[in-house]
C-alpha cells in the first residue's frame, strides 16, 4: 500500500477505532498547524467567559483534512432578519416556511408540506448558490434556516451564518477547543436556534450560546457545573434542541468509561436544570441489570437529537452501547438503559419507560439514529401514538409512545450473516451487520402521505476479536489507551465490498415497501416532501430525488464529493429551496480514496427550480 494510503487509513482509524484525538491542555503539537493570519471583515467578537469563571484551556484536537481557523467570532454583514425564534414558533413549526428545528418539527419526521418541487418538475432542479465553508472536513450537520438565514456547523464546531438565497456569509464563529477524549471523530451534527441565540454543543464538552445576529458568544458552560467528572471523558457531537426555555444536550463517547446522560440547561444562563443518566443505578428501575458498580461507568451515549411530544410531556431519544464495549464480563446483566429507545418526562427529566433493542451488547450495536414520532395501528387495529428508531442491528423498532411496548419490528433492511450476535472470543469472527451498520446516525424521514419510514443502511463486515484480558487494559476511573477494551472490530474489505441501502418501510405493517441499493455505504439523512419526493445523498457525490411511493430515482445532481449531510427545504418569498452539504463521508475515507474520489470537501449547495430561484 502506498504511504499516502497508509496515512489515510491511520487517520480514518483515529475517528473510527477510537484512539484519543484530544491533547493535553496547553501542550504544543507539531501536528496541529499554527493558525494563519486572517482578515475579518467587520468586528471580531470576544470569547465568552465560562460560567463560574473556570475555563478549561487547551488547543484544538489533532485534525485531519482541515485548516485551523482563527478562534473567535467575526461579523461580515449585518443580520436584519427576524431570527428570534420563540417557543410558540417551534411548537407551530409544521406550518412554517422555515426549517427551525433539527427534524423540522419536534416529532423529527423531516417531512415538508411543500409541493412546489414535485415529481413532475424535479428534473428541472438546479443549483442557485454554492457555498464553500473553507473547512475541508466531513460535516454531519443538519442546517437550520430562520427567515432567510442559514446556520451551518462544520467539523470542530465552526459555526457560520449565510444568506439562504445568495449564500453570502454573514458571520462566523471559530472556537478554540479544549481537551476531550474523542471516540469517533471530530463530528458536529448541527446547532439549535432559539430565543435570539445559537446553541452549540462542542467537542470539548462545553455548551456555548452565541448571539444569532452576530455570532458573538453570550455564555459558555463550565465543566465542573455541567459535566460528570472526570470531564475529559465527555464530549458532544449531537445537535442541541430548545424546548420550553431549556436546551437539551446528550453526551458522546461511551467507548470511554462514562455514565451517559441527557441533560437540560437553562437557555438564558446555561445553568444545569436536570440530568437523566442512561445507566440505571441500583435504586432505579432496571438497576439490577448491572453487576457491582459497573453502572457508574457503563456508557450509553446519546448520539442524536431527541424527539419531543409536548402534548404528553415526553422527550424520546435513543441510547448507545454499554461500556466496556466488546468484553462484557465486568457488567453482567442486560445493562439498562443502553441500546434503547427511552422516554422521560420533559418537565423533570424522570424516566417514563425504556425499550431495549439489544440486551448486554458486546457488538457495539448502538441505537444512534434519531427517534421519530407518528401514529400507527397496533396489534388490535387501534390507532396509537408511536415512536420508532432504526438501529444498527438493521431493523426498524416501532413502540407505543406512551408505554414503550413493542408494536412491531421490521424485517432486516441490511444483510445479516450466520455470525450475527454470536459470542466473541480470541478467534476472529466476521459479523454482518458490523458495528457500522445497518442504520448509523443518519436522520431518517417519515411521510404521512405514504406512511413510509425512510432510512439509510450499511452493509459492512467487521472482524470481532477479544485479544487482551480485560483487567490488563481497563481500570475504571483511570484514563485508558484505546476505546474498545480488550479487543478489536476491524472492517474486512476482502469478504465484502461495503455497500448501502435506502429503504422505505410501511409503518402500519412493518413490511419493506421498496429498497434502493448503492455501491457504497449510505450516510447522511433523508428529506421527505408532500411533492411525492424523498431526497438522499450518496458517497459517490450524487444528490438524489426518489419517488416516495415507488422508489424510482427521478433526478440526481453530482456535487463531486460524498453527500453525507442531511438535506433540508425551506421557502423564502414563495420560492422553495432544497439545500444539502457535500464534504465527504466520515466512515468512508478509505473507500473514497480507493475509488479515486475526494475524501474531504467544503461544499454546501442550494437548489431551486429555474423559473423560481
Residue 56 CA: distances (Å) to CA of 53, 114, 337, 424: 10, 45, 31, 40
Taking the CA atoms of the chain, what radius of gyration do you get in angstroms?
A: 22
Q: Are strands 111-112 and 526-529 parallel, antiparallel or unpaired?
A: parallel
Single pTM value for the model: 0.89
58-114 pLDDT, tens digit per residue, is 323 323 333 334 568 899 999 999 999 999 999 999 999 999 999 999 999 999 999
Name the pLDDT band for 539 (thresholds 50, 70, 90).
Answer: very high
Average of per-residue pLDDT across 437-458: 97
How far is it, in rounded angstroms, from Cα 130 to Cα 545?
Answer: 19
Name the pLDDT band for 476 (thresholds 50, 70, 90).
Answer: low
The mean-pLDDT minimum among 21-35, 111-125, 155-169, 222-236 falls in 21-35
405-440 pLDDT, tens digit per residue, is 999 999 999 999 999 999 999 999 999 999 998 999
Average pLDDT over the chain reads 87
Structure confidence at residue 72 (pLDDT): 84
How far is it, in rounded angstroms, from Cα 434 to Cα 442?
Answer: 16
Name the pLDDT band for 40 (thresholds 50, 70, 90).
Answer: very low
232 has pLDDT over 70: yes
338 has pLDDT over 80: yes
18 has pLDDT over 60: no
How far is it, in rounded angstroms, from Cα 330 to Cα 326?
Answer: 11
Residues 565/140, Cβ–Cβ less than 8 Å:
yes
Structure confidence at residue 350 (pLDDT): 98
DSSP for 523-538 reads -S-EEEETTTEEEEE-
Q: Let me know if 6 is exposed, middle or buried by CB neighbors in 10 A (0-12, 13-18, 19+).
A: exposed
Residues 547/531, Cβ–Cβ less than 8 Å:
no
Phi, psi (degrees; rounded to nearest 5) at 599:
-85, -40
Reduced 3-state DSSP string for 27-74 = CCCCCCCCCCCCCCCCCEECCCCECCCCCCCCCCCCCCCCCCCCCEEE
Cβ within 8 Å of residue 327, ≥6 positions away: 362, 424, 466, 470, 474, 485, 486, 487
Other CB atoms within a 10 A radius of the CB of residue 477 amount to: 9
451: alpha, beta or left? (left if phi > 0; alpha if psi -120 to 50): left
**What is the set of domains in the chain, with CATH numbers?**
105-140+502-613 (2.40.128)
CA distance from start to end of the chain:
47
Provide, rounded to the nearest whole percent, the portion of the chain with pLDDT above 70.
Answer: 86
How far is it, in rounded angstroms, from Cα 323 to Cα 300?
Answer: 8
518 has pLDDT over 90: yes
How far is it, in rounded angstroms, from Cα 153 to Cα 102?
Answer: 12
How far is it, in rounded angstroms, from Cα 535 to Cα 447?
Answer: 12
Residues 443/142, Cβ–Cβ less than 8 Å:
yes
45 has pLDDT over 90: no
DSSP for 116-154 reads SS-TTTGGG-EEEEEEE-S--S---PPPEEETTEEEEE-
Name the residue among 158, 122, 193 with its Cα closest to residue 547.
Answer: 122
Provide, rounded to the nearest whole percent, the portion of the chain with pLDDT above 90.
Answer: 77
Structure confidence at residue 574 (pLDDT): 97
Q: What is the DSSP letter of 412?
A: P
Amino acid at each position: 500500500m502506498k504511504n499516502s494510503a497508509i496515512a489515510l487509513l491511520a487517520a480514518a482509524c483515529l475517528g473510527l477505532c477510537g484512539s484519543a484525538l484530544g491533547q493535553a491542555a496547553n501542550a504544543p503539537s507539531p501536528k496541529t498547524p499554527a493558525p494563519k493570519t486572517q482578515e475579518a471583515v467587520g468586528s471580531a467578537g470576544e470569547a465568552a467567559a465560562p460560567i463560574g469563571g473556570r475555563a478549561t484551556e487547551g488547543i484544538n484536537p489533532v485534525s485531519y483534512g482541515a485548516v485551523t481557523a482563527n478562534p473567535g467570532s467575526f461579523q461580515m454583514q449585518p443580520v436584519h432578519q427576524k431570527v428570534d425564534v420563540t417557543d410558540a414558533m417551534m411548537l407551530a413549526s409544521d406550518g412554517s416556511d422555515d426549517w427551525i428545528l433539527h427534524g423540522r418539527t419536534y416529532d423529527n419526521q423531516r417531512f415538508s408540506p411543500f409541493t412546489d418541487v414535485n415529481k413532475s418538475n424535479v428534473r428541472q432542479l438546479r443549483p442557485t448558490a454554492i457555498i464553500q465553508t473553507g473547512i475541508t472536513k466531513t460535516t454531519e450537520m443538519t442546517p437550520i434556516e430562520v427567515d432567510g438565514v442559514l446556520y451551518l456547523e462544520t467539523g470542530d464546531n465552526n459555526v457560520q451564518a449565510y444568506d439562504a438565497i445568495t449564500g453570502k456569509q454573514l458571520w462566523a464563529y471559530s472556537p478554540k477547543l479544549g481537551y476531550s477524549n474523542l471516540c469517533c471523530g471530530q463530528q458536529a451534527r448541527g446547532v439549535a436556534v432559539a430565543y435570539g441565540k445559537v446553541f452549540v454543543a462542542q467537542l470539548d464538552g462545553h455548551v456555548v450560546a452565541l448571539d444569532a445576529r452576530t455570532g458573538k458568544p453570550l455564555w459558555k458552560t463550565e465543566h465542573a457545573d455541567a459535566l460528570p467528572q472526570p470531564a475529559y471523558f465527555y464530549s458532544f457531537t449531537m445537535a442541541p434542541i430548545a424546548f420550553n426555555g431549556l436546551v437539551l444536550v446528550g453526551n458522546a463517547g461511551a467507548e470511554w468509561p462514562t455514565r451517559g446522560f441527557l441533560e437540560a440547561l437553562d437557555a438564558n444562563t446555561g445553568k444545569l436544570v436536570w440530568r437523566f443518566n442512561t445507566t440505571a443505578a441500583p435504586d432505579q428501575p432496571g438497576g439490577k441489570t448491572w453487576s457491582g458498580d459497573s453502572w457508574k461507568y457503563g456508557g450509553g451515549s446519546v448520539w442524536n437529537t431527541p424527539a419531543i411530544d409536548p402534548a404528553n410531556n415526553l422527550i424520546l431519544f435513543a441510547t448507545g452501547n454499554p461500556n466496556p464495549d466488546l468484553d462484557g464480563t465486568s457488567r453482567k446483566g442486560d445493562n439498562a438503559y443502553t441500546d434503547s429507545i427511552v422516554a422521560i418526562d420533559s418537565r423533570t427529566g424522570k424516566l417514563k419507560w425504556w425499550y431495549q433493542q439489544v440486551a448486554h451488547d458486546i457488538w457495539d450495536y448502538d441505537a444512534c439514529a434519531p427517534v421519530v414520532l407518528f401514529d400507527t395501528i397496533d396489534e388490535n387495529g387501534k390507532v396509537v401514538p408511536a415512536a420508532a428508531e432504526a438501529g444498527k442491528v438493521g431493523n426498524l423498532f416501532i413502540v407505543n409512545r406512551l408505554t414503550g411496548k413493542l408494536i412491531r419490528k421490521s424485517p432486516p433492511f441490511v444483510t445479516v450473516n450466520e455470525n450475527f450476535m454470536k459470542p466473541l472470543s480470541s478467534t476472529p469472527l466476521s459479523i454482518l451487520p458490523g458495528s457500522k451498520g445497518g442504520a448509523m446516525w443518519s436522520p431518517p424521514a417519515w411521510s404521512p402521505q405514504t406512511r413510509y419510514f425512510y432510512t439509510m443502511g450499511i452493509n459492512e463486515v467487521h472482524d470481532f476479536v477479544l485479544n487482551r484480558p480485560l483487567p490488563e487494559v481497563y481500570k475504571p476511573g483511570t484514563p485508558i489507551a484505546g476505546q474498545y477494551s480488550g479487543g478489536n472490530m476491524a472492517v474486512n474489505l476482502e469478504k465484502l465490498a461495503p455497500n448501502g441501502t435506502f429503504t422505505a418501510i410501511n409503518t402500519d405493517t412493518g413490511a419493506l415497501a421498496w429498497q434502493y441499493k448503492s455501491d457504497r455505504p449510505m450516510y447522511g439523512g433523508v428529506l421527505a416532501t408532500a411533492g411525492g419526493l424523498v431526497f438522499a445523498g450518496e458517497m459517490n457525490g450524487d444528490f438524489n430525488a426518489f419517488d416516495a411511493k415507488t422508489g424510482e430515482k427521478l433526478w440526481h445532481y453530482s456535487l463531486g464529493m460524498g453527500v453525507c449531510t442531511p438535506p433540508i427545504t425551506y421557502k423564502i418569498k414563495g420560492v422553495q429551496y432544497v439545500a444539502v452539504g457535500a464534504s465527504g463521508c466520515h466512515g468512508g475515507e478509505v473507500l473514497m480514496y480507493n475509488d479515486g474520489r475526494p475524501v474531504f470537501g467544503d461544499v454546501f449547495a442550494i437548489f431551486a427550480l429555474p423559473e423560481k430561484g
